[in-house]
Chains A and B, each alone.
Chain A
Amino acid sequence: MTDDPKTGAWQNADARALGETQRQFDMDAVVGYILLIGVLIALVLVAGALIWRWMNTRTLWFDYKVTGMNLFELIVEEIHLAAKGAFRPRLLMSLGIAMLMLTPFIRVLASMVYFMAALRNWKYSVFTAIVLLTLTYSLFLR
């Protein structure tokens, strides 16, 4: 019977759960696409760097070293080199590594906005802030 109170309760619970899922829909999609697009951009940059390197030198091996630099110093160094006219395949390669490492970071940043602005869940805003701060610390390590 459709008016069976038990069945009705079940349906209500499921409908509520689905409702929560629906409300989360946008954020889940945003977080998912951030990860997908970030990784794809990183892979395309690395592949582009390799093709460029091959066209220039007929080798597929990068022999530069990254030493004593954190991610931001690496990015600054590469842009600095490029700005001085040394526009080389290693720029794409380093940016590929940087993009890869920034992808999970951007995902956490987006989650922060979600917990703060959309859900107004301060508990999880604080947790996300702790994750973000620890990651920022690790990216600025010396």
Chain B
Amino acid sequence: MISFELLFPVSIVAGFIGAMAGMGGGVVIIPVLTLLGVDIKHAIAISILSVIATSSGSASAYIRDHITNLKVGMFLEMFTIAGALTGAKITLAVSPKPLYIIFGLVLLASWLALLFARHQMGNTGPQDRLTRWLELEGSYPDQVLGKVVHYKAVRSYFGAPLMYLAGIIAGLLGIGAGAVKVLIHDLVMGLPPKVSTTTSNMIIGVTALAGASVYLVAGLVEPGLAAPVILGIAIGAFLGTRLLVRMSNQAVRRFFLFILLILAVEMIVRGVRGGL
């Protein structure tokens, strides 16, 4: 029943919806694959591979624009990678049922985070000693404001363990968990929204790699599924991002967020019912 001819267009749509809603394609493709009859662990493994493609693709442009903070990224990657290894190992060990429920709940939480996203400026006040020692500060040329924005990160002692948890979620569910990471960067570490989004994008790539390695050895990466999904999501995300740049319409974004809400509820219901 599952064929390239079915999966390829479905993956393009998944990548497109993910990009339009401001999330990765993983949150869309995993529920869709499971609806098509793919085992959730195989779906997670394929999704995390496609996450490497989409996050690296978009991170590329942001890094070249000097918005991404390489030091913040490198420091936090130590924690997210360890988390991803833990998360993927947990997925291999547990039964599918809790995975559906956790997936739905994380999607729901990310959904709320996106809907109520606050756009405050980054912290410019004094830093704590650890964060200052870690040299976690920076500046970037903001094209909208027309000036160089300076910022100083704070509370890295709290951000780091939280990023380990974000890594667990990413590895466990095969998603980028970008919304969770951005939330930690914004609210806990006081990074400006642009820096937190783009730096999170860079972190997602290596985090997904750690998770993908675990799934590859476990034999969950099926090349038959991987080919259409990776290509499709990359194309869909590319188109979605291009369109998103030209649109500032909140109504359109809310429509795509609504689709994510349905997917979240649907996953929870399937997990609770256990019929899968």
Instruction: Indicate which residue in A62, A66, A123, A138 contacts B209 across the interface (CB closer than 8 Å).
Output: A138
Asked if A69 and B4 sit within 8 Å, CB to CB, the answer is no
Asked if B63 and A28 sit within 8 Å, CB to CB, the answer is yes
Instruction: Indicate which residue in B5, B219, B223 contacts A90 across the interface (CB closer than 8 Å).
Output: B223
In the complex, the chain B residue whose C-beta lies closest to that of A66 is: B221
Interface residues of A in 19-78 (CB under 8 A from B): 20-21, 24-25, 27-29, 31-33, 35-36, 38-39, 42-43, 46-47, 49-50, 59-71, 74
- Summarize A's interface: helix, strand, loop or mixed: helix
Asked if B77 and A103 sit within 8 Å, CB to CB, the answer is no
Interface residues of B in 100-127 (CB under 8 A from A): none
- What is the distance, in angstroms, from A44's C-beta to the closest C-beta of chain B? 10
In the complex, the chain B residue whose C-beta lies closest to that of A25 is: B66
- What is the distance, in angstroms, from B163's C-beta to the closest C-beta of chain A? 13
B223-257 contact mask (Cβ, 8 Å, vs A): 1 or 0: 11011101100100000000000000000000000
Instruction: Indicate which residue in B82, B135, B208, B222 contacts A123 across the interface (CB closer than 8 Å).
Output: B135
Give Cα A95 to B85, complex, Å: 23
Asked if B49 and A66 sit within 8 Å, CB to CB, the answer is no
Asked whether any CB of chain B lies closer than 8 Å to the CB of A84, the reply is no
- What is the distance, in angstroms, from B153's C-beta to the closest C-beta of chain A? 14
Give Cα A62 to B56, complex, Å: 25
Asked if A39 and B53 sit within 8 Å, CB to CB, the answer is yes
Interface residues of B in 46-105 (CB under 8 A from A): 49, 52-53, 56-57, 59-64, 66, 68, 70-71, 74-75, 77-78, 81-82, 85
Give Cα A12 to B139, complex, Å: 14
Interface size on A, residues (CB 8 A): 66
In the complex, the chain A residue whose C-beta lies closest to that of B203 is: A104
Stretch touching chain A among B25-33, B140-148, B173-181, B187-195: B140-148
B209: chain A residues at CB < 8 Å are: 101, 104-105, 135, 138
Give Cα A93 to B64, complex, Å: 29
Give Cα A49 to B157, complex, Å: 46
- What is the distance, in angstroms, from B130's C-beta to the closest C-beta of chain A? 12
Asked whether any CB of chain A lies closer than 8 Å to the CB of B267, the reply is no
A-B pairs, 10 with minimum CB distance? A32-B64, A67-B219, A60-B4, A36-B60, A17-B139, A138-B213, A32-B63, A104-B205, A62-B223, A35-B60
Q: Which residues of A contact B (CB under 8 A)?
A: 13-14, 17-18, 20-21, 24-25, 27-29, 31-33, 35-36, 38-39, 42-43, 46-47, 49-50, 59-71, 74, 90, 93-94, 96-97, 100-101, 103-105, 107-108, 111, 114-115, 121, 123-124, 127-128, 130-131, 134-135, 138-139, 141-142
5 contacts across the A-B interface (CB closer than 8 A)? A35-B59, A93-B227, A101-B52, A103-B205, A138-B85
